[in-house]
Amino acid sequence: MDTDTDTRNAAESGGKRRESLDTTAARGASRFEPATGAISTPIYQSSAFRHPALFQSTGFDYSRAVNPTRTELERTVALLESGKYGLAFATGMGALSALIKLYAPGDHIIVSEDLYGGTYRLFTEYYEQYGFSFSWVDTSDTAAIKESLRRHTKALFIETPSNPMMKVSDIEACADLIHRHSPGAGLIVDNTFLSPYFQNPLALGADVVTHSGTKYLSGHNDTLSGFIVHSRDDLEDPLRNIQKSEGASLSPFDAWLTLRGIKTLALRMRRCEENALHIASWLRAQPLVERVFFPGFPDHPQYALSRAQSRGFGGMISFYVKDRAAVPVILKSVSLILFAESLGGVESLITYPLEQTHTAIPETMRLKAGVNDRLLRLSVGIEDKHDLVADLDAAFRRWDPR
Protein backbone atom coordinates (compact mmCIF):
# COMPACT_ATOMS: atom_id res chain seq x y z
CA MET A 1 0.00 0.00 0.00
CA ASP A 2 2.94 2.30 0.58
CA THR A 3 4.23 4.29 -2.36
CA ASP A 4 7.87 4.39 -3.28
CA THR A 5 9.00 7.68 -1.86
CA ASP A 6 12.52 7.49 -3.25
CA THR A 7 11.74 7.04 -6.89
CA ARG A 8 8.45 8.87 -7.30
CA ASN A 9 9.97 12.33 -7.49
CA ALA A 10 13.23 11.61 -9.20
CA ALA A 11 11.70 11.94 -12.63
CA GLU A 12 14.13 11.42 -15.47
CA SER A 13 12.70 13.08 -18.54
CA GLY A 14 14.27 12.90 -21.95
CA GLY A 15 17.77 12.22 -20.61
CA LYS A 16 17.67 15.51 -18.69
CA ARG A 17 17.30 14.98 -14.98
CA ARG A 18 14.47 16.95 -13.49
CA GLU A 19 15.18 18.24 -10.02
CA SER A 20 13.33 16.38 -7.30
CA LEU A 21 10.47 18.20 -5.60
CA ASP A 22 12.21 17.49 -2.28
CA THR A 23 15.10 19.69 -3.41
CA THR A 24 12.94 22.42 -4.94
CA ALA A 25 10.90 22.63 -1.74
CA ALA A 26 13.95 22.73 0.52
CA ARG A 27 15.85 25.30 -1.52
CA GLY A 28 13.23 27.45 -3.20
CA ALA A 29 13.46 29.01 -6.66
CA SER A 30 16.51 31.23 -6.07
CA ARG A 31 18.59 29.15 -3.60
CA PHE A 32 19.86 32.36 -2.00
CA GLU A 33 19.41 36.08 -2.33
CA PRO A 34 21.90 37.41 -4.92
CA ALA A 35 22.43 40.89 -3.44
CA THR A 36 23.75 39.71 -0.05
CA GLY A 37 23.98 35.93 -0.28
CA ALA A 38 21.31 35.56 2.42
CA ILE A 39 20.23 31.91 2.53
CA SER A 40 16.82 32.77 3.93
CA THR A 41 14.89 35.02 1.56
CA PRO A 42 14.77 38.47 3.21
CA ILE A 43 11.41 39.89 4.21
CA TYR A 44 11.21 42.99 2.04
CA GLN A 45 8.96 44.88 4.38
CA SER A 46 8.59 47.86 2.10
CA SER A 47 5.42 49.18 0.53
CA ALA A 48 7.24 51.10 -2.21
CA PHE A 49 10.54 50.98 -4.09
CA ARG A 50 12.68 53.90 -5.27
CA HIS A 51 13.02 54.37 -9.03
CA PRO A 52 16.58 55.16 -10.22
CA ALA A 53 15.30 57.73 -12.75
CA LEU A 54 12.29 58.60 -14.87
CA PHE A 55 11.22 55.57 -16.95
CA GLN A 56 13.58 53.34 -14.94
CA SER A 57 12.60 50.73 -12.43
CA THR A 58 14.28 48.01 -10.38
CA GLY A 59 11.39 45.78 -11.44
CA PHE A 60 9.65 46.64 -8.21
CA ASP A 61 7.49 49.69 -7.62
CA TYR A 62 4.64 49.12 -5.20
CA SER A 63 4.12 46.01 -3.07
CA ARG A 64 0.46 45.47 -3.88
CA ALA A 65 1.59 44.70 -7.43
CA VAL A 66 4.97 43.11 -6.80
CA ASN A 67 7.23 42.46 -3.82
CA PRO A 68 10.53 40.53 -3.87
CA THR A 69 9.64 38.18 -1.00
CA ARG A 70 6.32 37.38 -2.63
CA THR A 71 7.99 36.94 -6.03
CA GLU A 72 10.38 34.33 -4.61
CA LEU A 73 7.42 32.46 -3.14
CA GLU A 74 5.42 32.70 -6.37
CA ARG A 75 8.34 31.29 -8.34
CA THR A 76 8.85 28.49 -5.82
CA VAL A 77 5.21 27.40 -5.84
CA ALA A 78 5.13 27.59 -9.65
CA LEU A 79 8.17 25.28 -9.80
CA LEU A 80 6.58 22.84 -7.36
CA GLU A 81 3.48 22.69 -9.54
CA SER A 82 5.48 22.50 -12.81
CA GLY A 83 3.76 25.73 -13.83
CA LYS A 84 5.14 28.70 -15.68
CA TYR A 85 3.43 31.32 -13.51
CA GLY A 86 2.50 31.61 -9.85
CA LEU A 87 0.48 34.29 -8.08
CA ALA A 88 0.27 34.60 -4.30
CA PHE A 89 -2.74 35.97 -2.47
CA ALA A 90 -3.57 36.82 1.13
CA THR A 91 -5.73 33.69 1.46
CA GLY A 92 -7.00 30.75 -0.57
CA MET A 93 -10.31 32.54 -0.95
CA GLY A 94 -8.43 35.62 -2.19
CA ALA A 95 -6.93 33.45 -4.92
CA LEU A 96 -10.35 32.05 -5.90
CA SER A 97 -11.93 35.52 -5.86
CA ALA A 98 -9.26 36.67 -8.29
CA LEU A 99 -9.54 33.61 -10.50
CA ILE A 100 -13.29 33.84 -10.98
CA LYS A 101 -12.88 37.37 -12.35
CA LEU A 102 -11.49 35.80 -15.51
CA TYR A 103 -15.11 34.88 -16.25
CA ALA A 104 -18.10 37.03 -17.09
CA PRO A 105 -21.82 37.17 -16.37
CA GLY A 106 -23.58 34.52 -18.45
CA ASP A 107 -20.75 32.03 -18.05
CA HIS A 108 -21.55 28.60 -16.66
CA ILE A 109 -19.11 26.74 -14.43
CA ILE A 110 -19.36 23.09 -13.37
CA VAL A 111 -18.13 22.56 -9.80
CA SER A 112 -17.48 19.51 -7.60
CA GLU A 113 -20.52 19.20 -5.33
CA ASP A 114 -18.35 18.00 -2.48
CA LEU A 115 -15.95 20.88 -1.89
CA TYR A 116 -14.73 23.49 0.55
CA GLY A 117 -17.78 25.32 1.95
CA GLY A 118 -16.21 28.75 1.54
CA THR A 119 -15.88 28.23 -2.20
CA TYR A 120 -19.54 27.27 -2.38
CA ARG A 121 -20.44 30.43 -0.44
CA LEU A 122 -18.32 32.69 -2.66
CA PHE A 123 -19.88 31.31 -5.83
CA THR A 124 -23.52 31.15 -4.71
CA GLU A 125 -23.84 34.20 -2.46
CA TYR A 126 -21.98 36.52 -4.80
CA TYR A 127 -21.30 35.26 -8.30
CA GLU A 128 -24.75 33.78 -8.90
CA GLN A 129 -26.14 37.20 -8.13
CA TYR A 130 -23.72 38.74 -10.65
CA GLY A 131 -25.15 36.52 -13.39
CA PHE A 132 -22.84 33.51 -13.28
CA SER A 133 -24.37 30.04 -13.14
CA PHE A 134 -22.99 26.93 -11.50
CA SER A 135 -23.82 23.24 -11.66
CA TRP A 136 -22.87 21.18 -8.62
CA VAL A 137 -21.82 17.75 -9.78
CA ASP A 138 -20.15 14.60 -8.47
CA THR A 139 -17.02 15.13 -10.57
CA SER A 140 -15.68 11.67 -9.75
CA ASP A 141 -18.41 10.58 -12.20
CA THR A 142 -17.30 11.66 -15.69
CA ALA A 143 -20.72 10.89 -17.18
CA ALA A 144 -22.35 13.29 -14.70
CA ILE A 145 -19.97 16.06 -15.84
CA LYS A 146 -20.86 15.37 -19.48
CA GLU A 147 -24.56 15.67 -18.70
CA SER A 148 -24.01 19.05 -17.06
CA LEU A 149 -22.15 20.66 -19.96
CA ARG A 150 -23.99 23.57 -21.55
CA ARG A 151 -23.26 25.71 -24.55
CA HIS A 152 -21.85 28.50 -22.35
CA THR A 153 -19.88 26.25 -19.97
CA LYS A 154 -16.52 27.96 -19.55
CA ALA A 155 -14.86 26.04 -16.75
CA LEU A 156 -14.82 22.87 -14.73
CA PHE A 157 -13.70 23.42 -11.14
CA ILE A 158 -12.75 20.34 -9.15
CA GLU A 159 -11.33 19.42 -5.79
CA THR A 160 -9.62 16.07 -5.77
CA PRO A 161 -9.57 14.36 -3.35
CA SER A 162 -12.78 16.13 -2.46
CA ASN A 163 -13.50 17.84 0.82
CA PRO A 164 -14.57 16.11 2.99
CA MET A 165 -15.68 12.87 1.30
CA MET A 166 -12.30 12.06 -0.28
CA LYS A 167 -13.75 11.24 -3.70
CA VAL A 168 -11.16 11.28 -6.44
CA SER A 169 -11.84 12.84 -9.83
CA ASP A 170 -9.93 11.82 -12.94
CA ILE A 171 -7.94 14.97 -13.76
CA GLU A 172 -6.87 13.85 -17.24
CA ALA A 173 -10.41 12.82 -18.20
CA CYS A 174 -11.81 16.08 -16.81
CA ALA A 175 -9.30 18.14 -18.81
CA ASP A 176 -10.05 16.20 -21.95
CA LEU A 177 -13.78 16.57 -21.52
CA ILE A 178 -13.79 20.31 -20.96
CA HIS A 179 -11.26 21.02 -23.72
CA ARG A 180 -13.25 19.00 -26.23
CA HIS A 181 -16.40 20.80 -25.21
CA SER A 182 -15.05 24.23 -26.07
CA PRO A 183 -11.51 25.36 -26.88
CA GLY A 184 -11.87 28.39 -24.61
CA ALA A 185 -13.00 26.40 -21.58
CA GLY A 186 -10.61 25.21 -18.91
CA LEU A 187 -10.08 22.88 -16.01
CA ILE A 188 -9.32 24.39 -12.59
CA VAL A 189 -8.08 22.09 -9.83
CA ASP A 190 -8.01 23.10 -6.17
CA ASN A 191 -4.95 21.07 -5.19
CA THR A 192 -4.94 22.01 -1.50
CA PHE A 193 -5.54 18.50 -0.13
CA LEU A 194 -2.58 16.71 -1.73
CA SER A 195 -0.24 19.69 -2.15
CA PRO A 196 2.13 19.87 -5.12
CA TYR A 197 4.29 17.28 -3.44
CA PHE A 198 1.75 14.53 -4.11
CA GLN A 199 -0.11 15.82 -7.17
CA ASN A 200 0.57 18.12 -10.12
CA PRO A 201 -2.67 18.73 -12.03
CA LEU A 202 -1.05 20.94 -14.71
CA ALA A 203 1.00 17.96 -15.86
CA LEU A 204 -2.28 16.03 -16.24
CA GLY A 205 -3.87 18.67 -18.47
CA ALA A 206 -5.40 21.14 -16.01
CA ASP A 207 -5.27 24.80 -17.04
CA VAL A 208 -5.08 26.32 -13.59
CA VAL A 209 -4.22 25.04 -10.11
CA THR A 210 -5.28 26.80 -6.93
CA HIS A 211 -4.15 26.33 -3.36
CA SER A 212 -5.03 27.41 0.07
CA GLY A 213 -1.40 27.86 1.10
CA THR A 214 -2.76 28.17 4.64
CA LYS A 215 -2.80 24.38 4.69
CA TYR A 216 0.04 22.04 3.64
CA LEU A 217 2.23 24.59 1.86
CA SER A 218 2.67 26.73 5.00
CA GLY A 219 2.08 23.70 7.14
CA HIS A 220 2.29 25.17 10.65
CA ASN A 221 -1.16 26.64 11.31
CA ASP A 222 0.50 30.02 11.64
CA THR A 223 -0.36 31.95 8.50
CA LEU A 224 -2.86 32.29 5.67
CA SER A 225 -2.00 32.36 1.97
CA GLY A 226 -3.45 31.38 -1.38
CA PHE A 227 -2.13 30.61 -4.87
CA ILE A 228 -2.96 30.43 -8.52
CA VAL A 229 -0.49 28.50 -10.69
CA HIS A 230 -0.77 28.09 -14.46
CA SER A 231 1.20 27.93 -17.70
CA ARG A 232 -1.21 29.85 -19.94
CA ASP A 233 0.47 32.89 -21.48
CA ASP A 234 -2.96 34.30 -22.35
CA LEU A 235 -4.05 34.26 -18.68
CA GLU A 236 -0.94 35.75 -17.08
CA ASP A 237 -1.54 39.45 -17.80
CA PRO A 238 -5.24 39.34 -16.90
CA LEU A 239 -4.49 37.51 -13.64
CA ARG A 240 -1.64 39.89 -12.66
CA ASN A 241 -3.94 42.80 -13.39
CA ILE A 242 -6.69 41.34 -11.20
CA GLN A 243 -4.17 40.67 -8.40
CA LYS A 244 -2.88 44.25 -8.58
CA SER A 245 -6.34 45.80 -8.89
CA GLU A 246 -8.13 43.81 -6.21
CA GLY A 247 -5.38 44.11 -3.64
CA ALA A 248 -5.59 40.69 -2.02
CA SER A 249 -1.84 40.18 -2.54
CA LEU A 250 0.10 38.26 0.11
CA SER A 251 2.07 40.37 2.61
CA PRO A 252 5.89 40.07 2.67
CA PHE A 253 5.94 38.53 6.15
CA ASP A 254 3.26 35.94 5.34
CA ALA A 255 5.09 35.20 2.09
CA TRP A 256 8.22 34.53 4.14
CA LEU A 257 6.36 32.28 6.59
CA THR A 258 4.96 30.31 3.67
CA LEU A 259 8.42 30.01 2.08
CA ARG A 260 9.77 28.80 5.40
CA GLY A 261 6.98 26.25 5.69
CA ILE A 262 7.58 24.95 2.17
CA LYS A 263 11.18 24.04 3.03
CA THR A 264 9.87 20.99 4.93
CA LEU A 265 6.94 20.21 2.62
CA ALA A 266 8.43 16.89 1.48
CA LEU A 267 9.16 15.64 4.99
CA ARG A 268 5.81 16.75 6.32
CA MET A 269 3.77 15.26 3.47
CA ARG A 270 5.45 11.90 3.79
CA ARG A 271 5.04 11.83 7.55
CA CYS A 272 1.39 12.98 7.40
CA GLU A 273 0.69 10.21 4.90
CA GLU A 274 2.46 7.54 6.92
CA ASN A 275 0.48 8.59 10.00
CA ALA A 276 -2.78 8.77 8.04
CA LEU A 277 -2.35 5.25 6.63
CA HIS A 278 -1.88 3.95 10.17
CA ILE A 279 -4.75 5.90 11.70
CA ALA A 280 -7.18 5.17 8.86
CA SER A 281 -6.60 1.43 9.30
CA TRP A 282 -7.01 1.71 13.06
CA LEU A 283 -10.23 3.70 12.68
CA ARG A 284 -11.65 1.08 10.39
CA ALA A 285 -11.34 -1.59 13.07
CA GLN A 286 -13.22 0.43 15.71
CA PRO A 287 -16.75 -0.70 16.61
CA LEU A 288 -17.83 2.95 16.98
CA VAL A 289 -16.79 3.76 13.41
CA GLU A 290 -19.22 3.00 10.61
CA ARG A 291 -17.13 3.96 7.61
CA VAL A 292 -13.76 5.53 6.86
CA PHE A 293 -13.07 7.64 3.77
CA PHE A 294 -9.42 7.56 2.76
CA PRO A 295 -8.03 7.23 -0.78
CA GLY A 296 -5.16 5.06 0.47
CA PHE A 297 -7.41 2.07 1.12
CA PRO A 298 -7.07 -0.46 -1.72
CA ASP A 299 -10.88 -0.80 -1.68
CA HIS A 300 -11.46 2.96 -2.03
CA PRO A 301 -13.54 3.26 -5.26
CA GLN A 302 -10.84 5.36 -6.94
CA TYR A 303 -7.75 3.74 -5.45
CA ALA A 304 -6.28 2.78 -8.83
CA LEU A 305 -6.94 6.26 -10.18
CA SER A 306 -5.27 7.82 -7.11
CA ARG A 307 -2.19 5.71 -7.64
CA ALA A 308 -2.12 6.61 -11.31
CA GLN A 309 -2.50 10.38 -11.02
CA SER A 310 -0.98 11.14 -7.60
CA ARG A 311 2.23 10.26 -5.81
CA GLY A 312 0.58 9.88 -2.43
CA PHE A 313 -2.73 9.72 -0.60
CA GLY A 314 -2.25 12.68 1.72
CA GLY A 315 -3.05 13.12 5.37
CA MET A 316 -6.80 13.73 5.33
CA ILE A 317 -9.30 11.17 6.62
CA SER A 318 -13.06 11.45 7.09
CA PHE A 319 -15.22 8.96 8.99
CA TYR A 320 -18.78 8.33 10.11
CA VAL A 321 -19.35 7.33 13.69
CA LYS A 322 -22.32 5.01 14.22
CA ASP A 323 -23.95 7.19 16.85
CA ARG A 324 -24.47 10.96 16.54
CA ALA A 325 -24.24 11.18 20.34
CA ALA A 326 -20.57 10.23 20.15
CA VAL A 327 -19.67 13.36 18.16
CA PRO A 328 -19.68 15.93 21.00
CA VAL A 329 -17.98 13.45 23.34
CA ILE A 330 -15.12 12.83 20.91
CA LEU A 331 -14.66 16.51 20.09
CA LYS A 332 -14.54 17.38 23.78
CA SER A 333 -12.34 14.44 24.81
CA VAL A 334 -9.50 14.56 22.32
CA SER A 335 -6.57 16.35 23.90
CA LEU A 336 -3.53 15.86 21.68
CA ILE A 337 -5.65 16.22 18.55
CA LEU A 338 -7.26 19.65 18.60
CA PHE A 339 -10.85 20.41 17.70
CA ALA A 340 -10.35 23.19 15.14
CA GLU A 341 -11.38 23.93 11.58
CA SER A 342 -8.30 23.88 9.45
CA LEU A 343 -5.97 21.26 7.98
CA GLY A 344 -2.56 20.58 6.60
CA GLY A 345 -0.44 21.61 9.58
CA VAL A 346 2.08 19.76 11.72
CA GLU A 347 -0.56 19.65 14.46
CA SER A 348 -3.36 17.09 14.07
CA LEU A 349 -6.82 18.64 13.99
CA ILE A 350 -10.31 17.19 14.07
CA THR A 351 -13.25 19.00 12.46
CA TYR A 352 -17.01 18.56 12.36
CA PRO A 353 -17.73 19.55 8.73
CA LEU A 354 -21.48 19.92 9.26
CA GLU A 355 -21.01 22.80 11.71
CA GLN A 356 -17.72 24.23 10.52
CA THR A 357 -16.33 23.97 7.04
CA HIS A 358 -19.62 23.14 5.32
CA THR A 359 -22.25 25.33 7.04
CA ALA A 360 -22.73 27.40 3.88
CA ILE A 361 -23.92 24.37 1.89
CA PRO A 362 -27.69 23.70 1.93
CA GLU A 363 -28.82 20.57 3.78
CA THR A 364 -30.11 18.59 0.79
CA MET A 365 -26.88 19.16 -1.11
CA ARG A 366 -24.75 18.37 1.92
CA LEU A 367 -26.58 15.13 2.56
CA LYS A 368 -26.40 14.15 -1.09
CA ALA A 369 -22.64 14.63 -0.92
CA GLY A 370 -22.50 12.58 2.30
CA VAL A 371 -21.86 15.31 4.88
CA ASN A 372 -24.21 14.13 7.62
CA ASP A 373 -24.29 14.75 11.39
CA ARG A 374 -22.07 11.73 12.09
CA LEU A 375 -19.16 12.80 9.89
CA LEU A 376 -15.84 13.81 11.41
CA ARG A 377 -12.74 14.90 9.49
CA LEU A 378 -9.18 14.42 10.65
CA SER A 379 -6.17 16.34 9.42
CA VAL A 380 -3.33 14.10 10.49
CA GLY A 381 -0.19 15.94 11.56
CA ILE A 382 3.38 14.84 12.10
CA GLU A 383 3.16 13.69 15.73
CA ASP A 384 3.92 10.08 16.66
CA LYS A 385 1.17 7.92 15.13
CA HIS A 386 0.82 5.79 18.26
CA ASP A 387 0.25 8.88 20.38
CA LEU A 388 -2.44 10.00 17.94
CA VAL A 389 -4.17 6.61 18.06
CA ALA A 390 -3.98 6.59 21.87
CA ASP A 391 -5.64 10.00 21.93
CA LEU A 392 -8.47 8.89 19.64
CA ASP A 393 -8.84 5.64 21.54
CA ALA A 394 -9.18 7.48 24.85
CA ALA A 395 -11.76 9.83 23.32
CA PHE A 396 -13.77 6.91 21.86
CA ARG A 397 -13.74 5.19 25.25
CA ARG A 398 -15.23 8.28 26.86
CA TRP A 399 -18.33 7.72 24.77
CA ASP A 400 -18.45 3.97 25.17
CA PRO A 401 -16.92 2.78 28.46
CA ARG A 402 -17.04 -0.83 27.14
Ligand X SMILES: *Cc1c(COP(=O)(O)O)cnc(C)c1O
Q: Give the range of 114-122, 196-204, 345-353, 358-366 binding ligand X by CB under 6 A.
A: 114-122
Compute the 3-state secondary structure of the chain and give helix, strand, coil in percent, each to the nearest 5. Answer: 35, 15, 45
CA atoms within 13 A on the CB side of 194: 30
Interface pick for ligand X out of 190, 254, 273, 391 (rule CB under 6 A)? 190
Q: How far is the CB of 96 from ligand X (least distance, A)?
A: 7
Supply φ then ψ for residue 338, to 5 degrees.
-100, 140
Q: How crowded is residue 37: how many other Cβ atoms within 10 Å of its Cβ? A: 7
* Binding range to ligand X, per CB under 6 A, among 24-32, 37-45, 88-96, 319-327: 88-96
* 93 binds ligand X per the rule CB under 6 A: yes
With binding defined as CB under 6 A, does residue 351 bind ligand X?
Answer: no
Binding piece for ligand X, criterion CB under 6 A, among 13-21, 48-56, 113-121, 310-318: 113-121
- The rounded distance, in Å, linking the Cα atoms of 18 and 36 is 28
- Any catalytic annotation for residue 64? yes
CB of 245 to ligand X, least distance (A): 19
If you ran DSSP here, which 8-state letter would residue 370 be given? T
Q: Which of 43, 97, 47 is nearest to 72 (CA)?
A: 43
| From candidates 24, 71, 112, 163, binder to ligand X by CB under 6 A | 163
Q: How far apart are the first and last CA of the chain?
A: 32
116 catalytic? Reply is: yes
Q: Is the dihedral of CA 91, 94, 100, 105 positive or negative?
A: positive
Please say if 254 is a catalytic residue. Answer: no
Q: Which stretch binds ligand X (CB under 6 A): 58-66, 116-124, 287-295, 306-314?
A: 116-124
113 near ligand X, judged by CB under 6 A: no
Selected from 116, 120, 216, 319, the binder of ligand X by CB under 6 A is: 116
Do strands 208-212 and 186-190 pair parallel, antiparallel, or not at all (unpaired)? parallel
Instruction: Return the closest-CA partner of residue 377 out of 117, 113, 112, 96.
Output: 117
For position 161 contacting ligand X by CB under 6 A, the verdict is: no
The one among 92, 164, 201, 252 contacting ligand X by CB under 6 A: 92
Q: Closest Cα to residue 121, out of 155, 92, 147?
A: 92
Nearest to residue 187, comparing CAs of 203, 166, 167? 203
**Which amino acid would we find at residue 208?**
V
**Which is the catalytic residue, given 44, 116, 320, 352?**
116
Size of the site for ligand X (CB under 6 A): 15
By the rule CB under 6 A, 358 interacts with ligand X: no
CB of 215 to ligand X, least distance (A): 6
Position 162 contacts ligand X (CB under 6 A)? no
- Minimum Å gap between C-beta 310 and ligand X is 15
| Cβ-contact 229, 77 below 8 angstroms | yes
Q: Name which of residues 200 to 259 contact ligand X (CB under 6 A).
A: 212, 214-215, 224, 226
Relative to beta strand 153-159, strand 186-190 is parallel
Q: Quote the least distance from Cβ 206 to ligand X, whole Å.
A: 15
Contact call for residues 296 and 272 (beta carbons, < 8 A): no
Neighbours of 45 (CB within 10 A): 12
Please, what is the minimum distance in Å from the beta carbon of residue 157 to ligand X?
11
By CB under 6 A, which span of 51-59, 85-93, 288-296, 389-397 interacts with ligand X?
A: 85-93
Q: With binding defined as CB under 6 A, does residue 98 bind ligand X?
A: no
The tally of CA atoms less than 13 A away on the side-chain side of residue 66 is: 14
- Residue 211 or 385: the one with the smaller Cβ distance to ligand X is 211
Determine whether 50 is exposed, middle or buried from the number of CB atoms within 10 Å of its CB (0-12, 13-18, 19+).
exposed
Question: Where in the sequence numbering do the catalytic residues fall?
Answer: 64, 116, 190, 215
Interface ranges with ligand X (CB under 6 A) = 91-93, 116, 118-119, 159, 163, 190, 192, 212, 214-215, 224, 226
